[in-house]
Structure 1
């Protein structure tokens, strides 16, 4: 057995973490032989609930779970961590405008960025889940300057999984037979779910997804709208936000970052280096491939149609507006 991987989960008393922690602790993310040290951070009013979560993890009697550390102290939480899964954030409440949400989360992620910078390993891998995920990730990276920008990401894998599932359902095939669905841009209703490069296995034959679907109106309208608004549809039906599917997507994101993707493409929010005309420094979702060295590379050379260009630029414009709004609060 190797030394434990130290994994921090914030918002650890919440419903996403409740689905996420078991998967991490039993080996679904870092492998069936990798011991795990779990650090669970939440706010002081949630400590009693968090104690119950700790009890349940203990009662699972998981062989890979070396220790569980519940805390409300950021310095203790970020100490020597290998992976930070930042699930907790200020939720958007009724009557709250997006700028109010940004203002509340700037404070949270500024503080966590400082703690990350001061206490975490410099090799730490950071995944921001709490919304607005792209801008929150950008803020925390700003306040952890000693951590390489390549070590920060935000979750758009849930959107990719949703897109993949919609195609599989449309064609009546299994999810594993859908590949290279792409999510560009923001984890919001402006994101662009793109099937232009997707491929599917149908009746033993590999073909472009759009050729198999044979419904351009569905591809350009119903499909995009369904993926963009899926989170809201879940809330309307469940009266709660996505938890099980979000937790599964976090596991997918981290496992691929840890072990590599091979020839597969996955969608991940990363700091733009200017690829595909996206402003450098934005936290933007791209199609990427990851090597066994954990280095993330944007898939190069994809043809971008006029239709796609408009969508890429629209979600970029929203991210620029969010960034400028959030940073204005930092300067106030």
Structure 2
């Protein structure tokens, strides 16, 4: 017997990231090759013409799992009965823009979307915020959706994790799938801490610590960290637009693992509501290593952090506290 279709919303659906993401979702890469879907596509009124073209293309892909598509500029329609939400739509960061410039424009969008989720989505909806500043947008969204558990709001740091894995794989000359358990701590910003000290690399038939495989602690603490922290800006400088294909892939990876779980002994990085683990500030959305089972994530406990790590965790935690204060000031103004 065929599964019931699930409803999935993608916001900013006429944009660059969604253009790659919608195909991945609709062909079964995220929710599985047996799961039928109804896609809800939300964008702003001036983008409705473009969105019409996206709907035509989805139709022309002739995707067996895609039962129907609901294009709309109305959050009420967009969030009705959805089981998963990819909140991609946000004012994009352009060259020369600081993240703080984004904050005031974007928190207002996420307040409206939080209210719509609260009223219209399924109560167990899984929400992934991709639009920047993602961590603080997720926090604001959750704040305005009090009937949905706080754990159901997450921010995307999977792109940073994928970037970090790719850097290590290139450094030690192994396929990227051979690298696992690299962690992104903190904010999806240039203060994030990419941490390979708990990572493993599968080489010569066995798993060895990433630090041993790399054999260069100086590189792991300098060039590796800086490359991952600044990768988004490097892509903007090269492409004159922000990461889109890689961001879409990461969003799919994040949601797929959230729905399907992580293999034993493996963990992934997600921005989740902080309980104060590892000295992170509480009640901000902070990226931690998590393991996932039965659709529920849990912060991986008991990892040893050295003084270098603690210092960087502190910096990114402070930035999240500042962002939270600014966001609340904007909304309550």
Displacement after TM superposition at 1:84 (Å): 0.6
- Taking structure 2 as the reference length, the TM-score comes to 0.98
Shift of residue 288 of structure 1? Answer: 0.3
User: Are 2:274 and 1:272 equivalent residues in the alignment?
Assistant: yes
Q: Secondary structure at the match of 2:259?
A: helix
Q: What pairs with 1:148-297 in structure 2 (closer than 5 Å)?
A: 148-263=149-264, 264-291=266-293, 293-297=294-298
In the alignment, what sits opposite 2:106? 105
For 1:137 and 1:125, the matched residues in 2 are separated by 12
> 2:233 & 2:223 partners in 1: Cα distance?
15
Distance 1:25 1:265 in 2: 26
- For the residue of structure 1 that corresponds to 2:222, the secondary structure is helix
Match of 2:132 in 1: 131
Secondary structure in 2 aligned to 1:240? Answer: coil
Per the TM alignment, residue 239 of structure 1 is displaced from its structure 2 partner at its CA by 1.4
1:94 CA drift (Å): 5.6
- In structure 1, distance between residues paired with 2:73 and 2:145: 20
Q: What is the CA distance between 1:82 and its match in structure 2?
A: 0.5
**SS of equivalent residue, structure 1 residue 261:** coil
Q: State the shift of 1:92 in Å.
A: 3.0
Please name the residue that 2:31 is paired with: 30
Say if 2:95 and 2:240, in contact at 8 Å, map to a contact too: no
Distance 1:23 1:97, change over 3 A: closer
Could you give the per-residue CA deviations for residues 72-95 of structure 1, whole angstroms, max 9, x where no partner exists? 001111111100100000123466
Q: Give the TM-score taking structure 1 as reference length.
A: 0.98
Deviations 1:153-202 (CA, angstroms, capped at 9, x unpaired): 00000000000000000000011111110000000000000011111112
> Separation in 2 of the partners of 1:94 and 1:155?
21
In structure 2, stretches of 5+ residues that fail to align are none
**Equivalent position of 2:9 in the other structure:** 8
Conserved 8 A contact 2:95-2:237: no
| Residues 236-280 of structure 1: per-residue CA shift (max 9 Å, x gap) | 111111111111101100000001002221000000111111122
The question of whether the paired residues in 1 share the 8 Å contact of 2:95 and 2:236 is answered with no
Give, in angstroms, the shift of residue 97 of structure 1.
Answer: 4.9
Q: CA deviation at 1:205?
A: 2.8
Counterpart-to-counterpart distance in 1, 2:93 and 2:175: 35
Please state how far the C-alpha of 1:98 moved relative to its aligned partner.
3.8
- RMSD (Å), alpha carbons: 1.0
2:97 and 2:158 map into 1 onto residues whose CA distance is 26
User: After the TM superposition, which of the residue ranges 204-213 and 109-118 deviates more from structure 2?
Assistant: 204-213
The secondary structure found in structure 1 opposite 2:70 is: strand
Report the number of matched residues: 331
Q: Distance in 1 between matches of 2:64 and 2:202?
A: 38
Q: What is the DSSP-based 3-state SS (H/G/I as helix, E as strand, rest coil) of the residue aligned with 2:298?
A: strand
- In the alignment, the residues of structure 1 paired with residue 152 and residue 93 of structure 2 have an alpha-carbon distance, to the nearest angstrom, of 27
1:310 aligns with 2:311: yes
For residues 32-90 of structure 1, the C-alpha deviation after alignment (integer angstroms, 9 at most, x for no partner) is 11000000000000000000000000001111000000000011111111001000001
Q: CA deviation at 1:100?
A: 3.4
Partner Cα separation in structure 2 for residue 301 and residue 100 of structure 1:
37
Q: Secondary structure at the match of 2:236?
A: helix
Distance 1:331 1:64 in 2: 43
| Equivalent position SS for 2:288 | strand
Find the aligned partners of 2:237 and 2:94 in 1 and give their Cα distance: 15
Q: Residue 96 of structure 1: CA displacement?
A: 5.0
Change (3 A) 1:94 1:194: closer
